[in-house]
Amino acid sequence: MGGGEAERWCVVTGGRGFAARHLVEMLLRSDDWCVRVADLAPSISLDPQEESGALGDALRSARAVYVSADLRNKDQVVKAFEGTEVVFHMAAPDSSINNYQLHYSVNVEGTKNVIDACVECKVKRLIYTSSPSVVFDGVHGIFNGEESMPYPNQFNDSYSQTKAEGEKLVVKANGRNGLLTCCIRPSSIFGPGDRLMVPSLAAAAKAGKSKYIIGDGNNVYDFTYVENVAYAHICAERTLATDVGAKKAGGQAYFITNAEPIKFWEFMSLILEGLGYERPGTKLPVSFMMPIAHMVEWTYKLFSRYGMPVPQLTPSRIRLLSCNRTFSCSKAKDQIGYEPIVPLKDGLKKTIESYPHLKAEQKRTISKASIYLGGGKVADTLLWKDKKQSFTTLLLLVAIYYYLFGSGYTMITAMAKILSVVALFLFIHGALPTKIFGYKIEKLPPSYFNLSEEQACKVAFSASYTWNNGVGTLRSICKGKDWSLMFKVVLFLLALNILGAMSLQTVYKIGVAITLFGFYVYEKWEDEIDKIFNDAFSYGLKLKTKATQKLSRH
């Protein structure tokens, strides 16, 4: 700030978050502001880069201060806002955790406290970081979406729903006791300092799980480089600070992107290639993945209290990975003067360069079989690396066979026996005291097995989606033109016919043999087996092409 000028203070809530750190740096570099960084941690801990950067210098010169504040505690929020002119409200829980109570308490109740504190402390301007997901219903893709789009009746997840409720509160608060507000909706933020997307992508690549594309791979997205997001917030604040701008931007919401739509899986491929990994190539249909994702989500709900990590495969994420999501920045350009300051190509380059520790090793000694199995204990067991664990698994599977299938039980009888064992376990578990020899016994409440209305809707949507896909295939067959599709259907039904002709015992034996010995054999002779399969696949394609051509002539 220029000499002799009074200090102007602003607050950044969630100031230690990914995008918020970049905003704090940009505000400090502008020399227009002193910044109060508000976050949950009791004290601030700087990274080496921050220590020698603008934030470290500002903390030492008192141009920046750190305030520990929980948005759910109004008194703490008021204390953090005292004497400030502007609030950038960026705090929000992790969007990947589908926990409605957590999201509501921060995104809605916390935002109410932020608005009330702004009014009480006579804050002049409030800029709220919203999300494009507030207009996404989890079903229909969005092409060049505009701010006139209404909020949906059904949201993709609890994060989107509560962010929409928070946005409504901020829009409604515009003009309250002189407070001016507006909302920024940045689409799919990426850049240096991201602790979610890039690290997760690199971890999946190292485990051999990044070779899959969910859907057909043609869905288009709008990504936003993190510095552009920070700049959009500053554009909004500067606009609200003028009388003319306040009339235009007050109580408005703005989509913010890099204005360079790109195929979602192409963007992911560019990051993976930049880090030294292979592009994803195997396409998995959404109709195949959605039931699995529902099962994973239900399992997490059941076992999260026992320390199960948050799964990456959830229904809401599957929908996000396979749909189109592009948004227009025209309103932001016209009303707050926003235009991207960092192009997508440059942003990708800066992002990749900021993660040298996540780059692929030059020599990869992990076998394909281990990669397919995801590494870890499962791979060690099925590839006989841990022989004790492998023998234990084999004995367990043999015991299950003789207990359930050896006596010639039908599928229904076998399931009944499994359910009886589960019921007995639950009864004994419920009868146990809460502590045994000092060990705490976690009880399973009946609510764990309840299916909420929202979950029931999602299951119904998944079932209807699968059904509609099947009907779509049937329609194509009825036209009598798609011989390639007919060929696939015949092969599928033939395989189903062979499986149906086998007894339950035979299917179980074959399944166990393939599981416990197939991967081991593949690891030993993977090059030879790959060659055989590739040759057979090529020969099959030639036969299919010839057959299709002959049938098309008739």
Q: Which residues are catalytic?
A: 163
CA 120 to chain centroid, in Å, comes to: 37
Contact 233, 129 (CB under 8 A): yes
CA dihedral 418, 424, 425, 429 (to 10 degrees): 160
CA 109 to chain centroid, in Å, comes to: 24
Token pair recorded at residue 89: 């409200």
Contact 135, 142 (CB under 8 A): yes
The packing angle between helices 286-303 and 453-478, to 10°, is 160
Q: Where are the alpha helices (H) located in 446-503, listed in sequence order?
A: 453-478, 483-501
Closest CA to 336 of 430, 242, 457, 423: 242
CA atoms in the 13 A half-sphere facing the CB of 305: 9
Q: Is 140 exposed, middle or buried (0-12, 13-18, 19+ CB in 10 A)?
A: exposed
Contact 358, 271 (CB under 8 A): no
Contact 231, 194 (CB under 8 A): no
The backbone region for 480, taken as left when phi is positive above 0, alpha when psi lies in -120 to 50, beta otherwise, is left
Residues 6+ apart with CB under 8 A from 530: 368
β-bridge mates for residue 36, sequence order: 11, 65
Strand 9-13 vs strand 34-39: parallel, antiparallel, or unpaired? parallel
* Calpha distance 202→130 (Å, rounded): 27
Closest CA to 129 of 58, 264, 224, 47: 224
Cβ atoms < 10 Å from Cβ of 537:
10
* Calpha distance 313→324 (Å, rounded): 19
Contact 255, 221 (CB under 8 A): no
Contact 16, 23 (CB under 8 A): no
Token pair recorded at residue 404: 């359930």
Closest CA to 11 of 110, 85, 70: 85
Collapsed DSSP state (helix, strand, coil) of residue 225? strand
β-bridge mates for residue 35, sequence order: 10, 64
Q: Which amino acid is present at 221? A: Y
* Calpha distance 500→506 (Å, rounded): 11
* Calpha distance 229→340 (Å, rounded): 9
Collapsed DSSP state (helix, strand, coil) of residue 284? strand
Q: Is 365 exposed, middle or buried (0-12, 13-18, 19+ CB in 10 A)?
A: exposed
β-bridge mates for residue 224, sequence order: 189
